[in-house]
Structure 1
Amino acid sequence: MDIFAFPDLILQILFPGLIVLFIISQSIYFINNLLVNGVIYRSSSNEIKAAEELCDHPTIHILIPVYKEQRQILEDTVDHLAEMEYPTAQLNLYLITEQDDEVVASYIGDFIEKASGSEFEIEQLTVDRSTIRSYVQEGTWDITGEGVPRTKASALKYAFRTLGLRPEDIVTVFDADTIVPEDTFRLAIIRL
């Protein structure tokens, strides 16, 4: 008997056996993952559906500061909002515009009139810069009127003060070109 024959015999029998055991163990692991993940997915889906049934769909206020945006961009965003998985009657859309914005002024009236046929409310809020005051630190920097920068932040500050939104109101801010998944509002409200 050859001294090297024994290891060859082991490799001929043991190696294929190890491969078969490896394949079986990996198959069991894969099937287990499918079952566990399926159960978790089903239970989370059921929890979301149950929460939706209890949800009363509160009103969501959507603020969109608009400055020199092309009409098509805003139309795409509003069309997308109309397709959300949330009752459109519970969406209030505020387009925050600037007085000196000739681009938006050229179409905003017609845009709102055409969109008024949709199920959700669209309102234009034009920023009155003469009423905005900006404080960096009390007593050290006070810019009023025309000196206030034309920024999204100052337009939103004006909107929050003017609209009289309450602390319990649900408010979100979109850019004019924002597109979010259609279930965003539905899932956000469930988690509140």
Structure 2
Amino acid sequence: MTTAPSVCVYCGSRNGSDPAYVAAAEALGTMLARRGWRLVYGAGDVGLMGTVARATQAAGGNTFGVIPEGLFAREVGKRDLSTFIVTETMHERKKVMYMNADAIVVLPGGAGTLDEFFEVLTWRQIGLHEKPIFVINTNGYWNKLNELLNTITQQGFADNTLHDFVSFVNDIKYLEEDLEKLL
């Protein structure tokens, strides 16, 4: 029996200042459910995390959430998920999310989102996995991140192959088309 693909989503525990970020999270959750792809995420019910999970659930999708004990109150652990896991540490959370995903998607977010992104990018760079990594660049939110990656390679701190590991897309429609080819 083949299991449905799982997509790990890293995103903010806040909504951010642009309503387009919330709209992108809603569109992503709805698309994942429509395609039968499981959402793997940080199990919070706040910010973009909560938005993507509620959109996935509203469209009948499968949700897999992982939250560390220390963030349960702050991120309002969403207990009504298909699968709900509580870990002791953030590192365990990231590992469980990564291990249960076939692809990584990054929506707008803050320092935690960047931490998650750079960890899976580093793991990809050193050959620990070959999972695709997509950055949803809603209204140019991640333009500076793309510039930083360019600087890293231009200044000789990584090979140009670093760019092969990350796909920047501006819209959930393009993400869906790319994921369909890979999952």
Question: TM-score when scaled to structure 2?
Answer: 0.35
Question: TM-score when scaled to structure 1?
Answer: 0.34
Task: From the two aligned structures, give the one with the greater helix fraction.
Answer: 1
> Which of 1 and 2 has higher RCO (CA within 8 Å, sep 6+)?
1
Highest CA radius of gyration, 1 or 2? 1
